[in-house]
Structure 1
Amino acid sequence: MDNRIHDINNVISNAIRVMEDSKVQIFEICESARQELQALELELDTVIQETGEVIDKADELENQYRMARIRLTEVSRDFVKFNEQDIKNAYDKATQIQVEKMMYAEKEQQLKARRDDLQKRVRNVDMSIERAQTIHSQINVVLEYLSGDLNQVTRILESAKNRQLIGLKIIVAQEEERKRMARDIHDGPAQSLANLVLRMEIAERMIVKQEFEMVQHELKDLKAQVRSGLEEIRKIIFNLRPMALDDLGLVPTLRKYVQDFEEKTRIRTKFETIGREIRLPSAMEAGIYRLVQEAFTNVIKHANATYVSLEMTYQAQLVKILVADNGVGFQVESSEHLAAQHQGSHFGLIGMRERAELLEGRLEIESAKDQGTKISIIIPVNAQERKE
């Protein structure tokens, strides 16, 4: 056993060293790509500004050319008032403006082509950065799991394998949550802000041209977009930790969550409370909220249900949470066996059981094939007091 542990230690140490080196290289690649992206975005902004200026100049030349054509027509028709030199001057001016207009039209096409090329390169580099960040995150997951106390290997080998898997699953979940948040911010508020900057520049040009009616319409759209971006930010904050949990308490926050769940999923829901509601310690309320959230998430992923109910019972020494659905159900014994063998999709239930145990509570599951599922969670309300 000692030689086996020593060999495992060497393998893990070598793996950690290789991954640390790879992590540094990926970070350098990512930083280089970010610098390239910054330079491309700066060049793109310059090209966009130049394109706008060229378009404005082309519009101005178009107006001048139209006026020159009108002037040429006037002098060509009135031989009494205008002589041959006047006609020649009008013709030369119209020709000069036409040539200049064609030059700016060509320049406009070139700038637009350059702009499109830069936008494509910006998207490609941005995707490369995202892929590098994903690989970097995956390496972090493995390093965080492997870099623990290697002297604990004996106990890890002797303990249940599913606990190791749960630990890794928790780390993966944390990294996935960070990645989801970054993606939500990038695709939501960040894109909205970038679009706002561009549209504000357009509004500025409209003001210069005194197109006030169009400016008013643009500002109305901008206001709507700001409100939409603010709503996205509030949703992200709510997913991190619902502020209503601290301000209003557990029951109002769960009621709002259940309503939003029904609107989003079109699954009919019901929420009931029994007994007199009491405020619980903040950590306990947060833990219960996450347990309910995970139970409802499992309904979406696995139950294929059309109805789910949440019942909370307040008693003197405990709080009972009951989540029931009319979904496809499953064999409880086989699901736990598969989870222990790291082959099933029931890590969520195991994680819920672990979370309930952290609150010194217990979780029970009743289910059968095509009979729906009931998850009962009992939390002693004086658990925090006993700990303190």
Structure 2
Amino acid sequence: MDYRVNDIDRVIKNAINVMEESKYQIFEIAESAREELLKISRELESVMKETAETIDKVDQLELDYRRARIRLTEVSKDFIRYKEADIKSAYETATQLQLDLMVFREKEAYLKARRDDLQKRVKNVELSIERAETISSQINVVLDYLSGDLNQVTRILESAKNRQLIGLKIILAQEEERKRIAREIHDGPAQSLANLVLRTEIAERMLAKQEFRLVQDELIDLKRQVRKGLEEIRKIIFNLRPMALDDLGLVPTLRKYVQDFEEKTRIRTLFETVGREIRLPSAMEAGIYRLVQEAYTNAMKHADPTFVSLEITYQPDRVKIVVHDNGAGFHADLIEAKAKDSSHFGLIGMRERVELLEGRMEIESTIGEGTKIAIHIPVNAEQRKE
């Protein structure tokens, strides 16, 4: 027994050393990405400033060129008042302004393309930093577990009730973080974007009167992008935490989700409940909602069904969730072997989420006949009181 403990201890120490090294490497990657982000941001700021100046210059050149052409027309028609030298001067001025206008329009197009490219690079680098920080955080969590008292962890894991409590606390922490982010996005970027849309509409009307077509087109494009961003942020807010889950409960929220799913995908749906509905702990309701959401998303992406049904059964000691589709189906016994396959990754994630709730998931699927996913989540009296 001592020999096995020593082996386990050695394996854990080796794993800790590897993770510590990986953590340092991830930190270096994140720092390098931050330096690159700072460099790109500075360049983007410079390009945006130069773009604005060039747009102003193009506007001014267009105005000057129109005036020069009017002047050239005037002197060309009146040979009494104007001499040949005046006509030549007006012609040269108009020609030079035309050339300058062409050059600055090319410069404007180049700067806009450069600006768009830099904005995409900034977004990609920010995403890389976020992923690196997420991985680093996950490694810290694993290191905390591995560095702790193995005997104590074993004793905790021997208790089914405590294991489920750990899962509920993890889910609750995740959902609290989602609610915080949802509030911040709603109070910050969403309000700012709405204000930007209003201001661009006002600017568009003002510019239309002065016939600055290029600037007007730019503002119209800006308004379109801002509206698109606002729509995406609102979707993010809903996906992070459906407000109805806290206010109305699990069943009404799922009923609304199923209805929205049918309207969006044109896939027929059916939602039924069996037994007397009871309110579950907030974390458990959130976990069940995410499971159903993942099941429907998987069916839409990979099964190509025409019908998806959801049935929730409330029993004295458990909640049963059944999602059934009539899609393409697959070999259910090969899921674990294909865990790295993107088409099965969602089911693996669902299984892990079910295990956090100390539940079990059963999958029945046949090629060409669809898939049935049954999830059993245990519920005890203490959880109902929370």
Q: Residue deviations 1:349-383, cap 9 Å, x none?
A: 532532442xxxx5463635356425153554734
CA distance in 1 between partners of 2:63 and 2:130 (Å)? 47
Separation in structure 2 between the aligned mates of residue 239 and residue 256 of structure 1, nearest angstrom: 13
Whether 1:148 and 2:151 are equivalent positions in the alignment is no
1:49 equivalenced with 2:60 (yes/no): no
> For residue 306 of structure 2, what is the aligned residue in structure 1?
306
**In 2, are the aligned partners of 1:319 and 1:379 still within 8 Å (CA)?**
yes
Match of 1:96 in 2: 93
Say if 2:69 and 2:94, in contact at 8 Å, map to a contact too.
no
Show the counterpart of 2:237. 237
Judging changes above 3 Å, is the alpha-carbon distance between structure 1 residues 140 and 350 closer, same or farther for their aligned structure 2 residues?
same
3-state SS of the aligned residue for 1:324? strand
Structure 2 residue aligned with 1:272: 272
Following superposition of structure 1 onto structure 2, how do residues 94-243 of structure 1 map, counting pairs within 5 Å?
Answer: 94-124=91-121, 126-150=123-147, 193=193, 204=203, 207=206, 210-211=209-210, 229-243=229-243
Greater mean alpha carbon deviation, residues 251-260 or residues 148-157: 148-157
Which residue is 1:19 aligned to?
Answer: 22
Q: Secondary structure at the match of 1:295?
A: helix
Residue 48 of structure 1 aligns to which amino acid in structure 2? T
Aligned match of 1:365: 362
Where does structure 1 lack aligned partners over 5 or more consecutive residues?
none
TM-superposition CA deviations, 1:76-118 (whole Å, max 9, x none):
2x4xxx3xx7443343244334334434543443454344345
Q: d(CA) in 2 for partners of 1:254 and 1:3?
A: 50
- Which amino acid is the alignment partner of residue 98 of structure 1? T
1:254 Cα shift? 0.9
Report the Cα distance in structure 1 between the residues aligned to 2:297 and 2:208, rounded to whole angstroms: 53
Aligned residues: 355
Structure ID, larger Rg: 1
RMSD between aligned residues = 4.8
| 1:231-288 deviation per Cα after TM superposition (whole angstroms, max 9, x unaligned) | 4323211211110112222222111111222234443211123445444443343233
Is the Cα–Cα contact under 8 Å of residues 40 and 118 in structure 1 kept in the other structure?
no
Q: Indicate the residue corresponding to 1:60 in structure 2.
A: 63
- Mapped partners of 2:296, 2:354: distance in 1: 15
Q: Which runs of 5 or more structure 2 residues have no equivalent in the other structure?
A: none
Secondary structure class of the residue paired with 2:209: coil
% identical equivalent positions: 37
Taking the aligned partners of 1:217 and 1:95, their CA distance within structure 2 comes to 31
Check the 8 A contact 1:319/1:378 in 2, yes or no. yes
What's the CA shift for 1:68?
A: 1.9
Give the Cα separation in 1 of the matches to 2:380 and 2:271. 21
Relative to structure 1, the CA distance from residue 218 to residue 273 in structure 2 (aligned partners, 3 Å threshold; closer, same or farther) is: farther
Partner amino acid, structure 2, of 1:384:
Q
Q: Which moved more, 1:91-100 or 1:57-66?
A: 91-100
> Aligned in 2, Cα 1:115/1:295: closer, same or farther, shift over 3 Å?
closer
Q: Look up the match of 1:74.
A: 77
Do 1:306 and 1:327's aligned partners in 2 also have CA atoms closer than 8 Å?
A: yes
CA 1:147–1:97 in 2, change beyond 3 Å: closer, same or farther?
A: same
